Amino acid sequence: MKTICFYFQIHQPFRLKRYRFFDIGNDHYYYDDFQNEEIIRRIAERCYLPANRTILEMIKNSGGKFKVAFSISGVALEQMEIYTPEVIDSFKELAATGNIEFLSETYAHSLSSLGDIEEFKHQIKKQEDKIYTLFGVKPKVFRNTELIYSDDISEAVYEMGYRGMLTEGAKHILGWKSPNYMYASCVRPDLHLLLKNDKFSEDLSERFTDYSWNEYPLTADKFISWIASTPESEQVINLFMNYEVLGSLHSASSGIFDFFKALPQYAAEKNIGFSTPSEIFKLMKPVDCLSVPYPMSWVDEERDTSSWLGNVLQQEAFRKICEIGERVRMCEPRRIRQDWYYLQSSDHFYYMSTKHMGQKGFSPYDNPYDAFNNYMNVLSDFIVRVKAQFPETIENEELNSLLATIKNQGEEIEALQKELDKAKKRQSKKEK
């Protein structure tokens, strides 16, 4: 029996305000609150809330047969808590059905897997804690920012305890192979992989409202018939996309919600089911191992990481923020830690890409150079604040040793204080 695995990505960065060179050292607040609130409220109204209602209706009308997975970045969840708490409530209502799965990812939707593995692992743990706090579940399956994956990343994910991961079914990796099977990491064969089916996913995410497409309009029965016509041995169709496909990238007037509502009925007629990633990992076995020596993603024709690190501007900005990771993780002030996460969101580097110049809407800046200058001004101020905590003259190794000594001394003092308290109690009893 074939099964469809739906996974939706949800992420919103904390966008930066216009931050001038002369603000460095004088202004430590970096965010455009008006823009951040306006955008997430608009998307919540157009997408998150109506889409969640649609999925809840689909689950109920299908008798609990429709299932779906979500990966919501920690910084997106923070914005929902601040500006649209009703969205959090609607996800809790979905979670109560038992038919959705929350995946793990990097808390900041960051590129840390490409430059700072310790930060990568730290953010995974923070994301796990956030999901558990809000929804009472611990994620069992991992998906990296923008489905970025490589052999080295799979090693780190495996070490974090995961045995299932989602990624891109890139043609330059698969070759003649089909994405409609389960695979495994070549360096960690116990880490199993589900790969995005590009064609079927992009029929929905990109071509659904394309009037020039020769298959327009796309109907639910036509779409399900395409899936049913795949070879019988191909048992899993992975449809991975941005959640904004529902209501934002394709407006409600396009019929996208009605299309989705009709999917369970036509799938049942073709004996096609729906499964969460965890269910598939339990039921299926990998057919082969995949070797991915260089990172791949689900973005652009190249399916690589050049949209974030493809030019010298992006590489310099990424190098600078990775350099201070070790010191930031030792900082105590909550505001520094919070800014650290917000500044790592991959969006800031995407805005610096020269590949997308001329495309309207994807960036709040006029051009990649403005994006770079603004980000580097903010980062310069942030670095000053970090150095104020731990001067640059102290090497990281020396700093680690010093902090370890202070920690050990603190624990020793605490233990001695407990012994002293016990001795005082004993003495008090003797005197009585």
Helix (H, G, I), strand (E, B) or coil at 46: helix
Q: Are 63 and 268 in contact (CB under 8 A)?
A: no
Rounded Cα–Cα distance for residues 103 and 142 (Å): 6
The reply to whether 146 belongs to the active site is yes
Active-site residue, from 101, 105, 128, 146:
146
206 exposed, middle or buried (CB, 10 Å; 0-12, 13-18, 19+)? middle
User: What is the residue type of 6?
Assistant: F
- What the block records as the tokens of 218 is 């796309």
Q: Are 211 and 184 in contact (CB under 8 A)?
A: no
- What the block records as the tokens of 266 is 């036509």
Say which residue the tokens 């299309």 belong to: 259
Cα dihedral: 406, 409, 415, 420 (round 10): -120
Rounded Cα–Cα distance for residues 372 and 376 (Å): 6
- Write phi, then psi, for 100 (nearest 5 degrees): -125, 155
DSSP letter at 322 equals H
Which candidate, 68, 65, 57, 88, places its Cα nearest to that of 1? Answer: 65
Rounded Cα–Cα distance for residues 336 and 332 (Å): 8
- Please give the positions annotated as active site: 146
